[in-house]
Amino acid sequence: MWNILKRSQLDGRKFRRQYGVSRYVLDFYCPAERLGIELDGKTHYGTDAERYDEERRMFVEHFGIKIIRFQNKFVFDELEWVLASIRANFGWQHVAMITTPSAEAAATPPKTGGELF
């Protein structure tokens, strides 16, 4: 995976490997997209590991970083799908901004007297 992400080879996006966010380390991180990528091997299976991963995701997302996860086997068996999934998450923060209530309210013209909406 790193061979594809390094040197801005994926759509010109710069990725960092083993990027620290407080006490957690992301497998890969794209600062411009605020996107973290996690590859999950066998150590991520099981109730305790899933609980830890969820706690970690919530902590990292608190800092405005979206986490997407892939099982290791998909990187080897379905690489094009993995890359398409990563690309599909480029620009995620712009979509999130559009759907916030304050953005919708700003896009709605104020009512003037006597109008029904």
CATH number for position 64: 3.40.960.10
Nearest Cα to Cα of residue 11 among 88, 71, 66: 88
102 part of a folded domain: no
Residue-wise pLDDT tens digits, 10-35: 999 999 999 999 999 999 999 999 99
Q: What is the DSSP-derived secondary structure letter of residue 109?
A: P
8 part of a folded domain: yes
Q: What is the DSSP-derived secondary structure letter of residue 23?
A: T
108 part of a folded domain: no
94 part of a folded domain: no
75 part of a folded domain: yes
**31: containing domain:** 2-89
Contact partners, residue 14, CB within 8 Å, separation at least 6: 8, 30, 31, 32
106 part of a folded domain: no
Q: How many domains does the chain have?
A: 1
110 part of a folded domain: no
Instruction: Report residue 116's pLDDT band, with 50, 70 and 90 as the boundaries.
Output: very low
95 part of a folded domain: no
Instruction: Report residue 45's pLDDT band, with 50, 70 and 90 as the boundaries.
Output: low
